Amino acid sequence: MPDQGDATGGTYGTDGARTAPSAVRVEGLWKRFGEQVAVAGIDLELPAGKFIGLVGPNGAGKTTTLSMVTGLLRPDMGRVVVAGHDVWADPTEVKARIGVLPEGLRLFERLSGRELLGYMGRLRGLPGEETDKRATQLLDVLDLAGSQHKLIVDYSTGMRKKIGLAAALLHNPEVLFLDEPFEGVDPVSAQTIRGVLERYTASGATVVFSSHVMELVESLCDWVAVMAAGRIRAAGPLADVRGSAPSLQAAFLELVGAHGRDASGDSLDWLGGNSGTVTR
């Protein structure tokens, strides 16, 4: 397992794309809530122009990390540099260059989808006409045109994620941060989101997204960082992190030390039709 314990991403390796500057650089990031340490000293360097997955079990600190990286949560310690600018010292430069879709925070739900985009675009300083033009295209591509005049409070989870994504893309950011963008999203909407993101990274932009669905990360990302208990366990190109393991899932379980906990032995041996054998 390469880069284990050392998460500065010194060896991007295989494709030799060392030339690209890093999109995000995190140094010694700490956050504790009362007694609980949510993020315990993260150092991370994410390459630009990649589709980057931040994976980890629930409670690993993914959301806390992304919140601190995007300026929504103040870290106790550490430094975050996005697109060459310090998030906390130079917010003007950073906020214009990033798009964010957080998890667990509301949208302005009493606006319709189109109104939300119009509002966000103007807050971002885009001219009204340009905002409306971009909004129309985003609503079309994300398959929301039919519901654009419905209030967001009446949207489904998938539609919320899509309108949140549209709001995050509206100002054409360099780096896009998405917290669990596929959580609770139906397959059709997921495919739509995926298509938009792939097109976006193909143009040279960076996507950083968190997930605990390994198959998804494996099929989407070319660079992954594995988080557990507030620390980075591994980071690097997908192939390097996966190493010799048959799948990212297997590599991940090994990394976070979750092996040997599957249902074998005597427990639950009564479960199932042909009692005694347990299949997973």
> Which helix or strand (DSSP H or E) is residue 168 part of?
helix 157-169
Among 2, 13, 41, 71, binds another protein (CB under 8 A): 71
Contact set for another protein, span 158-187 (CB under 8 A): 167
Q: Is 120 in the site for another protein (CB under 8 A)?
A: yes
Q: Which is nearer to another protein, 94 or 216 (CB)?
A: 94
Give the CA angle between residues 30, 54, 101 to the nearest 5°.
90
Q: Is 153 in the site for another protein (CB under 8 A)?
A: yes
Quick one: DSSP state of residue 71?
Answer: T
Q: Which is nearer to another protein, 139 or 235 (CB)?
A: 139
Q: Is 133 in the site for another protein (CB under 8 A)?
A: no
Token representation of residue 169 = 């893309």
Residues 6+ apart with CB under 8 A from 78: 26, 27, 28, 29, 30, 41, 42, 68
Under a CB-based contact definition with an 8 Å cutoff, are residues 40 and 30 in contact? yes
**Stretch near another protein under the rule CB under 8 A, chosen from 19-27, 53-61, 97-105, 266-274:** 97-105
Among 115, 143, 183, 254, binds another protein (CB under 8 A): 115
**Stretch near another protein under the rule CB under 8 A, chosen from 49-57, 147-155, 209-217, 256-264:** 147-155
Using CA atoms, how far apart are residues 117 and 1, in angstroms rounded to an integer?
A: 43
Residue ranges of E strands in the chain = 22-33, 36-47, 51-55, 77-82, 85-86, 98-101, 175-179, 206-211, 223-228, 231-237
Q: Is 55 in the site for another protein (CB under 8 A)?
A: no
Using CA atoms, how far apart are residues 164 and 168, in angstroms rounded to an integer?
A: 6
Among 107, 166, 241, 255, binds another protein (CB under 8 A): 107
Helix (H, G, I), strand (E, B) or coil at 38: strand
**Stretch near another protein under the rule CB under 8 A, chosen from 126-134, 229-237, 244-252, 253-261:** 126-134
Q: Is 244 in the site for another protein (CB under 8 A)?
A: no
Residues in touch with another protein (CB under 8 A): 70-74, 91-92, 94-96, 100, 102, 104-112, 114-115, 118-120, 122-125, 127-128, 132, 147-151, 153-154, 167
